[in-house]
Structures are given as structure tokens and as C-alpha cells.
Structure 1
Amino acid sequence: MPEICRFLGIVIRMYYRDHEPPHFHAQYGEHEITMEIDSGLVEGKFPRRSLSAVLDWHELRRDELATNWQRARQELPLLPIAPLEN
């Protein structure tokens, strides 16, 4: 699964050929969540501060995430997305 971003110990990835709706995966240590790109719906458990960081990053990078989702569906290389700045 290609890594598209890393910040504050959080790794953001997207699968090729993943199921709908458009989403990404975030991992922090042993914790993992998936987040829908359009709605922001989160599944899974994350520490509060890490979840807050992912929510902020998602809001800033929603268009880039949607573009990468389309690229993944077409099996094109995914583009790196800038991390959340401290």
C-alpha cells in the first residue's frame, strides 16, 4: 500500500483497487483508522491528539486526496501530499 504522507508519527496510505467510498488509511503505532474523503467519517480508534491532526490534515488536503483516489483507481502512481505543519 503506497505511503502518500507522514507527519507526527502518523503514516497516511492508500490502496490500489480499494473498495468505495473513497477513503485513506492512517496508522499511528498499533492504531489504525480509515477516513472517508468526502464525508470525513472515521472508522477505527486513534489517540485523541493524533486523530485531531488527521482531521486537520484531511480538511487541508481533501482535493489532493480525491485526486490520488482517482489515480489509484486508474492504477497510476500516487502523488505525495504535504504533511501537516506543526
Structure 2
Amino acid sequence: MPTISMFYGILILMFFRDNRQHHLPHIHVRYQGEEAAIAIEDGSILGGRIPPKQLKLVQAWIEIHKEALITNWELAVNGEEPFRIPPLQ
């Protein structure tokens, strides 16, 4: 499960071949022991939980990098290594 970005203590991960559980392009987010799966399309939480402030930061990051995230999703679903995406600054 590669980490594709990291900012403000938030880890953004994308699993290989991870299209069975949620059936939507998504990322996994970890922050201080909490984890959530978040949809790339609209930034909604598909499962889990992270604090509201960190969720808003992740949603802003998703909007900025949506095209790269979709490309990464396609790579990961096919078992290929996703590339790193710049952090939110």
C-alpha cells in the first residue's frame, strides 16, 4: 500500500487492486491513529473516520489533484505502482 502523499501529519495511501470493497475510486487517509476511505469523485467518506479539520484539508487536496488521483487509481487497480502527488501547502 504505497503512500502517495503526506502533509500536516496526514498520510494519503492507495492500495493495489482495491476496487472490491468500495467499488469507487478512492484513497485511504490516516491521521493520528484514525483511518478513512474517501471517494476521489466528491471527497465523501466511504468508511472510517478522520477529524473534520483534516477531512477538509484532504477534500481540498483531492480537488486540486483529482486528475492525477484518477490516473493513480487506474494504475493501482491494475497492480501497478501509483506515483507520488505533491502535498497540500
Same-fold call, TM cutoff 0.5: yes
3-state DSSP of counterpart to 1:70: helix
> Which residue number in structure 2 is paired with residue 32 of structure 1?
35
SS at 1:64 equivalent: helix
Which of 72, 79, 87 lines up with 1:83 in the alignment? 87
Match of 1:71 in 2: 75
Task: Name structure 2 gaps, 5 residues minimum.
Answer: none
Residue identity matched to 2:48: G
In the alignment, the residues of structure 2 paired with residue 18 and residue 65 of structure 1 have an alpha-carbon distance, to the nearest angstrom, of 14
Residue 23 of structure 1 pairs with residue 48 of structure 2: no
Q: CA RMSD in A?
A: 1.0
| TM-score (norm. length: structure 1) | 0.91
Q: Percent identity?
A: 36
Provide TM-score, normalisation by structure 2: 0.88
Matched length? 85
Give structure 1 stretches of 5+ with no counterpart.
none
